[in-house]
Structure 1
Amino acid sequence: MSLREILIHPDDRLREIAKPVAFPLSDEVKQTIQDMADTMYDAPGVGLAATQIGVALQIAVTDTEWRKEEVRHDGEPIGSRNLKVWINPEFTWKSDEMETWEEGCLSVPEVYGDVSRPAAVRLRWQDMEGDTHEKDFDGFEAVALQHEFDHLIGKLFIDYLSPLKRAMITKKMKKLYKS
């Protein structure tokens, strides 16, 4: 298991636009994906984008189900995990209907805010073998995917909040996580 440092807002690298991933995947990219999964589960979180660990590639990992499971005394979930790897993701459709969810982020620790996003999305992505898939998502999974893929275009969930609230959060992060 290899854990990576999660960048904390306002680190400028969180605003970097990720580049497409070329296939076949290099050993370095495969290791990055494994490190992302290890880091996400350790944090613990339900998603992590490569830009959050300082890698400007269009890769994200999610597992929107594992935290719902019961945990052992050492905090590890009981049962199987459902890791999903998203490479070169692209939304091909978003619903007009919006839903508001309380969001948080591993790169903005201990901060939460209500964000309105499309209630359903259609996503095209590649898997680790380079095969292309397309599927519709709704509910929490749609929210998590939109949140993670925002990272790949340099956007954070706090960008959906009011300018005043964003400024207060940025000030708090600078104070708590002095670089």
Structure 2
Amino acid sequence: MKEINLISKRKEDFLKSKKVLKTLYTLSIACLFVTFICSVGIFLLKLSSPLPGLKAEEEELVNNISLAKQKLTKIVVLDERLKNVSGLLAKKSDIDSTIDIITAQAKDVKITVLDIQKKKLSISSSSQSLNSIDLFLNSLVAISSDKKKFSKVTLNNLNTDFKSGKYTFSLDIDLL
């Protein structure tokens, strides 16, 4: 029979496991070194990266855009209002010149009330003389026949105050 040598086999197993452990130890150190190098590289890349500067620039641009958007909104609103006002002024009848024409005709006639509505002008007046009222009304009728400023003159009422000798009347003028 052969002799069994248990010690040498044990030593061989021990040497194999020691060799495997040494290989694993070397491999783990190499992995640790590679991880360290990668971490340092990433840290340096992040440190030298323009990303924080780009983020700050992005925030600044977003703020500028929002301010510009607010200004643009105000400009658009103002432009819209100006267009509306221009449209209203274009549609507005030339009421000032019409009133000037009417008051120029009223030499001895005192205009007491002047009411302006959309296309209608109501006048209440008084005078000491029927002749002045006649001249005033005839001149307004002549102007309305030209149909430049107004189209129709309607006498609503004519009153007499015998005590004061004053005549009051009201009329409506249809504006063009």
Higher relative contact order (CA 8 A, sep 6+): 1
Judging by fraction of residues, say which structure has more helix.
2
TM over 0.5: no
Report the TM-score when normalising by structure 2. 0.20
Q: TM-score, normalised by structure 1?
A: 0.20
Larger radius of gyration: 2
